[in-house]
Amino acid sequence: MNEKKFNKINFNDTPLAKGEYEECTFTYCDFSNTGLLDIQFFNCEFIGCNFSSAKLTNTAFSDATFKDSKVVLHFFCKIGFYPKPIFG
């Protein structure tokens, strides 16, 4: 999926489909307690999003930007950040 905007979506109610997301913007989305298994994010921006207790096995963030987002990760070895993400 390319250049799509997601706004105020609770991904517990509407699960995000597995696959690749490129240059997408996620604004005030709730990923908490969701399974983001086997999803790749390339050049995506996350603004005001909540990732608390999200399951990120085989999840990749490549050139991702996180602004005003809650990112609490327990197992860094199970996800990939390529290159270093930007947290703001």
Per-residue pLDDT for the chain (88 aa), expressed as one digit of tens each? 899 999 999 999 999 999 999 999 999 999 999 988 899 999 999 999 999 988 888 888 999 999 999 876 655 444 555 555 555 5
Residues 6+ apart with CB under 8 A from 18: 37, 38, 39
d(CA 85, CA 88): 10
The one-letter amino acid at 73: L
Answer positive or negative: Cα dihedral of 86, 6, 52, 38.
negative
Q: Which residue has the tokens 């990749």?
A: 60
Is the pTM for the entire model greater than 0.75? Answer: yes
The CATH label, of 2.160.20.80, 2.40.50.1070, 2.20.25.90, 2.60.120.10, for the domain at 5-80 is 2.160.20.80
> 78: which DSSP letter?
G
